[in-house]
């Protein structure tokens, strides 16, 4: 799986959009970008994934650059419950292998 780089921490005001960046400059053509988050003392939660088109679901939006070397996860209206560590992971769709977690970004939503 391609390596990803994320900032170690970010703050966001409650109610504002949280934009979490991820660099994956060595991504291969058949690798997808996955986002997970881990709220303190819980297991990781799947958020969203995409290949090259922007994706949106009830939790977040995923914006992938045209060259696919970076992406941004957007939480449109952050709440205090969105405080968590966010992981950007690149892997082949349908891979039966485990997920490899980096350090992620600690997002703190401030009241």
Partner 1 sequence: GAVVSQHPSWVICKSGTSVKIECRSLDFQATTMFWYRQFPKQSLMLMATSNEGSKATYEQGVEKDKFLINHASLTLSTLTVTSAHPEDSSFYICSSRGSSYNSPLHFGNGTRLTVT
Judge whether 55 and 32 are in contact, CB under 8 Å.
no
Q: Using alpha carbons, select from 81, 37, 73 the residue that is nearest to residue 56.
A: 73
**Does 104 participate in binding partner 1 (rule CB under 8 A)?**
yes
Dihedral sign, Cα of residue 77, residue 62, residue 57, residue 37? negative
Residue of the chain from 19, 49, 72, 108 that contacts partner 1 (CB under 8 A):
49
The yes or no reply on residue 57 touching partner 1 (CB under 8 A) is no
Nearest distance from residue 106's CB to partner 1, in Å?
Answer: 10
Residues 9-38: x where in contact with partner 1 by CB under 8 A, - otherwise, as a string: -------------------------x---x
Q: How far is Cα 80 from Cα 17, in angstroms, rounded to an integer?
A: 12
Contact range with partner 1 by CB under 8 A, out of 20-28, 54-62, 63-71, 101-109: 101-109
Q: Which of these, 39, 35, 29, lies nearest to 71 by C-alpha position? A: 35
8 binds partner 1 (CB under 8 A): no
């Amino acid at each position: 799986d391609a390596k990803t780089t994320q900032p170690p921490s970010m703050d966001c005001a409650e109610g504002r959009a949280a934009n979490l960046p991820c660099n994956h400059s060595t991504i291969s053509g058949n690798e997808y970008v996955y986002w997970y988050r881990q709220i303190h003392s819980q297991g990781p939660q799947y958020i969203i994934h995409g290949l090259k088109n922007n994706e949106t679901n009830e939790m977040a939006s995923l914006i992938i650059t045209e060259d696919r070397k970076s992406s941004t996860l957007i939480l449109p209206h952050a709440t205090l419950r969105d405080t968590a560590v966010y992981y950007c992971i690149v892997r082949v769709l349908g891979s039966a292998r485990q997920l490899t977690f980096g350090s992620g970004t600690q997002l703190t939503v401030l009241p």
